[in-house]
Copies of this chain bind each other. A is one copy, B any other.
Amino acid sequence: MRARDKTQKSAVREENERAILKAAEEVFAERGFRGATTGVIADRAGIPKANLHYYFPTKEALYRRVVEHIFNVWLDAANTFDESDDPVEALTSYISAKMDISRAHPMGSKVWANEILHKAPVIQDYLETTLRDWTASRAAVIDRWIAEGKIAPVNAQYLLYMIWATTQHYADFNHQVDTLNGGLPLNEAQFEEAKRTVTGIILAGIGAIPPTAVGPDASAQPACADA
């Protein structure tokens, strides 16, 4: 090819980068940045190590691309928060989206966790810009719900942390969860129950729904706790 549009990637490049990034996400998640070796990543992508370095000059550049991709997936899920202005609907869909990502995309969550654990050497700027802005604006939404009497007064920031921690636990700590489940991954029904439990406790915890009203099939007595 003589003069390709510089923004256009050749098919082979596209395909190789995809394979490398997929392998890299797995290996970085399993072994951390230091524990991951370009040799192993290349093997898993089915190419020689020297070829990997042709596409990604350094291990750090590759890692950066992986983390950026994960951050974008995370941002997509974050948008479900805005699907409704009703706290029950908004939080239900947000929690559901985050739980689904934990199940379908656990490697990404693990890479993120690893990065934060090691003081975010690569993504500190994201934390200070995009994440900080997102968090502040959603905290404002929650504060408005409180002002409108839709939910009980709780600290919005710490509520968000609670949602993040709980949903991501099913990705980051899935090995522990699996072990405590007899060594098997949660099946579909178990995972749905976990999702209902998390959603129910959060929503009841902020007074958006009565306790025990977990899930749409909640027909039990409305149960005001101090009755």
Interface residues of A (CB under 8 A from B): 29-35, 110, 113-114, 116-120, 124, 127-128, 131-132, 135, 151-155, 157-159, 161-162, 164-166, 168-170, 172-173, 175-177, 179-180, 193-194, 197-198, 200-212, 214, 220, 222-227
Contacts and interface: CB of A to CB of B under 8 A. Distances in A.
Number of copies: 2
Contacts of A113: 113, 117, 172-173
Contact of A205 (B120, B164, B200): B200
A200 B34 contact: no
Given A132-B179, A164-B169, A207-B210, 5 more contacts: A34-B34, A117-B172, A117-B175, A155-B193, A207-B212
Given A154-B214, A210-B224, A223-B152, A118 B201 contact: no
A175 B120 contact: yes
15 contacts: A32-B32, A33-B35, A116-B175, A132-B180, A152-B214, A153-B212, A155-B194, A158-B198, A162-B197, A164-B169, A164-B173, A165-B166, A206-B211, A210-B224, A224-B224
Contacts of A128: 179
Nearest to A226: B210
B180 A208 contact: no
A127 B179 contact: yes
A116 to B, nearest CB: 5
A204 B225 CA distance: 8
Contacts of A35: 32-35, 118
Contacts of A225: 152, 204, 207-210, 224
A135 B116 CA distance: 27
A162 B207 contact: no
A227 B194 CA distance: 27
Given A154-B197, A197-B154, A120 B223 contact: no
